[in-house]
Chains A and B, each alone.
Chain A
Amino acid sequence: MPDEANPGGAPEPQKPEETSAPKGAGEPSAPQAAPPPAGGPESPSAAAPPVEKPAQESAAPTVPAEPKPAAPAAAKPAAPAAAAKPAAPPAPKAPPVMQTTPWEGELVEDLKEEFGDKIKDYSTYVGQSFLVADVAAVIPIIDYLKIEQGFDYLVDITAVDYPEKPERFELVWILYSFDRNERIRIKARVKDGQKAATCFGVHLTADWLEREVYDMFGIEFEGHPNMTRILMPDGWSGFPLRKDKSIVDMDNRWVRENIGIESGQ
């Protein structure tokens, strides 16, 4: 991740009226539709037409009356699409890259010796060190760090979704050592559908944390004793934190069958 520019993430924010107009019709239109005009008393609906007209006539440089936050939201999931690309050139700046510095130290030497090229990268960003490893090597690394280096506290397991990349998910393990008073991160990438190994055998904390990652992203951890949903209900379909899920998407069938209402709103 450190060196690869995010191809679509950059362009969106400044020009909402261009990018939002075509895409606003897409998925995130619901938050726009939600404000008053839907069921309000006479006043908002009466005011609605005059709002639209002058904005177009005068071609105001400011944004139209529609709420802006929907626009960047729209741009992001659809970023790799063709529409986002032409909008990018106005920014002559270099594509944003995470400005990392190499991470050096005794621990890095030890890890290099132990794991060799299974760990691809050692970097530091804003004073926080992380290493990028093969997903298959992560559990041995965590085990080694726990037993040999004293990283005995697994702080967190989480994932980040980059739908435009071939290896879609980035798994993040955060480790802390009480003795060294040091916190490091381990990152690994997995494809959609690829299974990662569980570290339940090393840290018991992983139980719920891995279940949450599975629940939110659909990344399964092999060898986990109880790989079921934890926050969402059991029969739910879809993984809410994936980028292709809009914030208003929900499992309508589940809601209808279990709660007996048409939508979750």
Chain B
Amino acid sequence: MSETFLDSTELVLNMGPQHPSTHGVLRVIVKLDGEKVTGTECVIGYLHRGVEKIAENRTYAMFAPYVDRMDYVAAISNGLGYCLAIEKLISVEAPERAQVVRVILTELNRIASHLVWLGTHALDIGALTPLFYCMREREDILNIFEKYCGARLTTHAFRIGGLQYETYDGFEKECLEFCDKFMPRVDEYEELLTENRIWKERLIDVGILNAEDCKAYGVTGPMLRSAGVEWDIRKALPYSGYEKYDFEIPTRTNGDCYDRYIVRVQEMRQSARIVRQGVEMLAAGPIIGKVPKVLKPPMGEAYVSIEAPKGELGYYVVSDASTQPYRVRVRPPSFVNLQSLDKMARGSLVADLVAVIGTIDIVLGEVDR
């Protein structure tokens, strides 16, 4: 008797595109049985600006500011990937000093990106306090960016072949100060969250994606590392001199939301370590390599990827020996990682879906490009 009573029909719920926990304009069509998610379908493209098409109509140097607009919370990583791809095509390597400055800024940006993630994700789960703390630290990083290149978010900090700007007076000091200040602050976040009972109950064993699934779905970045695969492009295929830095790849084994949180927090510590080493390595020297004014890479193509805060960010650039790229393909980590949402959310509750979307760490500007 009870079965017929409790039998429910499938409910289709539309989440987004203006839902605050989708971190942008992601629309998820959720199929529900009671409160259980039986299927999700992502509708994306609301922020599609045709970045790849724009690239075909701009010269190589001109396109650099546009890549900042993809993953706007980690604009410096985007710029680095693009510059490295073009440098590969023209076989130019940035000078030593430029590489070190690039690493410092990229790692600072990684911290900033993870801080935004941590703050907003905690907000989604219901912990309001970390957001303000995270924004406070991020502010320091953004101030460094502003002093360095004049912009805080869409920085356009790097140029093909090196850097446009020399570091400002006190750059090293400010970076070190930030690192000193930051380490205890991370402890503070962890104090608030890591052993917090609500936090743990909301995250542990939610949205599990094991290593095989990660590989099958092409998931990279902290999500892959939380599933126990120790793979980081900075170690596996070093670029920009990352092989000279001493850092660890934090990994966990469960691959649930909690592990992703731990991995990201640990990554922030590692990034601060790299920044510190980078400042020590900073030696005088030129900041830009020999790059012709009118850039015409020889006919060819290259795929270069970097470890962006969200995963593998790749640029596949095809040159036809003209001043404009023939094709630029961006391999966005958010886009590929978001695919695994259905796998992770199936069978969980609606409230967990919010946690799962949060821990993928998507930026819709990058998903849609």
Contacts and interface: CB of A to CB of B under 8 A. Distances in A.
Q: Is there direct touching of A and B in the complex, by C-beta distance under 8 Å?
A: yes
Interface of A: 6, 9-10, 12-13, 28, 69, 72-73, 76, 96-100, 125-126, 128, 152-156, 158, 160-161, 172, 174, 178, 181, 183, 185, 203-205, 207-209, 212, 216, 229-233, 240-241, 243, 245, 247
A265 to B, nearest CB: 13
B368 A174 contact: no
B229 interface: yes
B320 interface: yes
B89 A96 contact: no
B12 interface: no
Interface stretch (B117-125, B173-181, B297-305): B297-305
Contacts of B48: 231-232
Interface of B: 44-45, 48, 50, 52-54, 56-59, 62, 88-89, 91, 215-218, 229, 231, 236-237, 294, 296, 298-303, 305, 312, 314, 316, 318, 320-324, 326-327, 329, 331, 335-336, 338-339, 368-369
A228 to B, nearest CB: 11
B57 A69 contact: yes
A156 B314 contact: yes
B322 A72 contact: yes
Contacts of B368: 231
B314 A174 contact: yes
Given A69-B62, A231-B44, A231-B45, A208 B300 contact: no
Contacts of A205: 216-218, 336, 339
A237 to B, nearest CB: 15
Contacts of B324: 72-73, 76
B217 A204 contact: yes
- Binding site of A, secondary structure by majority: helix, strand, loop or mixed? loop
A98 B52 CA distance: 22
Given A73-B324, A230-B44, A247-B57, A125 B218 contact: no
B53 A240 contact: yes
B326 to A, nearest CB: 7
A73 B91 contact: no
Nearest to A170: B318
Contacts of A125: 300-302
Contact of B236 (A96, A172, A181): A181
Given A126-B88, A240-B53, A203 B218 contact: yes
A6 to B, nearest CB: 5
A9 B322 contact: yes
Given A76-B322, A96-B299, A178-B229, A156 B316 contact: yes
Contacts of A233: 45
A73 B57 contact: yes
A13 B369 CA distance: 28
Contacts of B236: 181
Given A12-B322, A174-B316, A240-B50, 17 more contacts: A9-B322, A13-B294, A69-B57, A76-B322, A99-B298, A125-B301, A125-B302, A126-B91, A155-B303, A156-B316, A172-B329, A174-B331, A178-B215, A185-B303, A207-B339, A208-B335, A208-B336
Given A230-B44, A231-B368, A6 B339 contact: no
Contacts of B327: 160-161
Contacts of B218: 153-155, 203-205
Given A128-B302, A172-B316, A174-B314, A156 B329 contact: yes
Interface centre among A9, A156, A216 (most CB of B within 10 A): A156
A243 to B, nearest CB: 8
Contacts of B369: 231
Contact of B322 (A10, A100, A152, A172): A10
Contacts of A229: 45
A156 B294 CA distance: 30
A170 to B, nearest CB: 9
Nearest to A154: B218
B52 A241 contact: yes
Contacts of A181: 236-237
Contacts of A247: 50, 53-54, 56-57
16 contacts: A6-B299, A6-B321, A72-B323, A96-B299, A98-B298, A98-B299, A100-B300, A153-B215, A156-B314, A185-B303, A203-B218, A204-B217, A205-B218, A208-B335, A216-B52, A229-B45
Given A12-B322, A240-B50, A209 B300 contact: no
Most buried by A among B237, B299, B318, B321: B299
Nearest to A246: B57
Contacts of A185: 303
Nearest to A181: B236
A6 B320 contact: yes
What are the 8 A-B residue pairs with the smallest beta carbon separation, nearest first?
A: A205-B218, A9-B320, A96-B321, A231-B45, A96-B299, A158-B329, A156-B331, A204-B216
B312 A155 contact: yes
Given A98-B299, A232-B45, A69 B58 contact: yes
A156 B89 CA distance: 19
Nearest to A9: B320
Nearest to B54: A247
A160 B53 contact: no
A178 B229 CA distance: 9
Contacts of B58: 69
A125 B316 CA distance: 13
A208 B332 CA distance: 12
A6 B303 CA distance: 20
B322 A99 contact: no
B249 to A, nearest CB: 13
